[in-house]
A and B are shown apart, each in its own frame.
Chain A
Amino acid sequence: MSSDDLDLAILRALQADATQSAGAIGRMLGLSQPAVWRRINKLKADGIIMGRRLDLNREALGYPVTVFLGVKLATKGRVSLEDFERAVTAIPEVQSVRHVLGLYDYRLRVVARDLADFERILRRRIMTLPGVGDVEANVLLSEERLPGPL
């Protein structure tokens, strides 16, 4: 395996299970523990590994509903984007915010306790954000994360 291939193999392993030790990954790839550790640190320093995320059972934790919102801003300009972003990221139920180019300006991932709770979040928190125009909601039914081109 080339050096780049080794990095990709390490990324694949950590993407599947980030709790694996450098030693365990090393044994799998035929590398020493310190060699894997150095590579992981380099991947972190280069910003390729952004961090870790927990895989949680959302139903068991009381958030069975996930909705993706496409949000179009009614007024544009640098100031309104910043205002919107600041306000939207402060909403605890908003899990992710992406600025996109296309039919919408932002894509939000929102969790809720049930549909009534979602309606409350939408009406009281999202629709009242500065500059909000059209909003489209799609309720998440299933989700798969794939390894991608690793």
Chain B
Amino acid sequence: MVIIMLDDTDRRLLRALQNYPDGGVQDLAERAGCTTATATRRLERLRDSGVLTGQHAVINWARLGYAVEVSLRFTLDKTSANAFDEFLAKARQIAEVVEIQTFLGRVDVRLAVVARDLGHYQRLYREQILMLPHIAEIEALMDVALIKSDERLPI
């Protein structure tokens, strides 16, 4: 991995970009207290060195008609050698899965799943989730409200 040294200007630019990702270079430069030319050059360097790898739109699934969002936490049966790989490969094929995370801890894998309503969720759970291989235990947490989700780094 390339280690690049970030100075205060880089940090200010990244902070501004985290807070105003829609902003143009001129706007960001102003917020970071540098010239537009410096901002352009620095942002290019942050991209080239792999610090800033992209930007993605955040979708509100509820507004799109997926009212139910559930966190499914799995413990896998690790007596089988390929349990993780096989589980993850199958989980990726379920269209309603929006996030897959693996952990060190009591939980092995978490899937974030969206569904149109509870009926849809129930079908999804019975027909697809429970069919996933190597499940030892499942726990479900249903999302009630998103209190904070900016996922900003404190840089």
Which A residues form the contact surface with B (CB < 8 A)?
11, 14-19, 46-63, 68, 70, 85, 88-89, 92-104, 106-107, 109, 111, 136-150
Please give me the residue from chain B that is nearest to A14 by CB atom: B57
Is B64 located at the chain interface by the 8 A CB criterion? yes
Does B22 count as interface, using CB distance less than 8 angstroms? yes
- A-B contacts, 21 listed (Cβ < 8 Å): A18-B21, A46-B63, A51-B21, A52-B22, A52-B57, A52-B58, A60-B50, A61-B155, A63-B154, A93-B154, A95-B153, A96-B149, A96-B151, A101-B144, A102-B140, A104-B141, A136-B105, A137-B105, A143-B100, A146-B97, A148-B96
**A139/B22 in contact, CB under 8 A:** no
A55-B55, A102-B140, A149-B96 given; A141·B104 CB < 8 A: yes
B63 smallest CB distance to A (angstroms): 5
Q: Which of B40-77 contact A (CB under 8 A)?
A: 49-61, 63-64, 66, 71
* Apart from the given pairs A14-B57, A18-B56, A47-B60, 5 other A-B contacts in the complex at a CB distance below 8 Å: A11-B57, A19-B55, A49-B59, A141-B102, A145-B98
Q: Write the chain B residue with the least CB distance to A85.
A: B147
- Between B57, B64, B150, the greatest number of chain A beta carbons within 10 A of the residue's beta carbon is seen for B57
Contact of A53 among B55, B60, B103 (CB under 8 A): B55
Are A111 and B95 in contact, with the CB atoms below 8 A? no
**Among the listed A102, A111, A149, which residue makes an inter-chain contact with B139, where contact means beta carbons less than 8 Å apart?**
A102
Number of A-B contacts (CB under 8 A): 196
Contact A142 B102 (CB under 8 A): yes
**Residues of B within 8 A of A (CB-CB), count:** 60
Q: Does chain A have a CB within 8 A of B30?
A: no
* Distance of A94 Cα from B3 Cα, bound (Å): 25
User: Could you say which residues of chain B place their CB within 8 Å of the CB of A50?
Assistant: 58-60
How far apart sit A63 and B153, CA to CA, in the bound complex (Å)? 8
B58 to chain A, nearest CB (A): 4
Judging by beta carbons under 8 Å apart, are B59 and A48 in contact?
A: yes
Per CB-CB distance, the 4 closest pairs between chain A and chain B, nearest first, are A138-B105, A14-B57, A92-B154, A52-B21
CA distance A96 to B3 in the complex (A): 27
Find out whether the CB atom of A57 lies under 8 angstroms from the CB atom of B99.
no
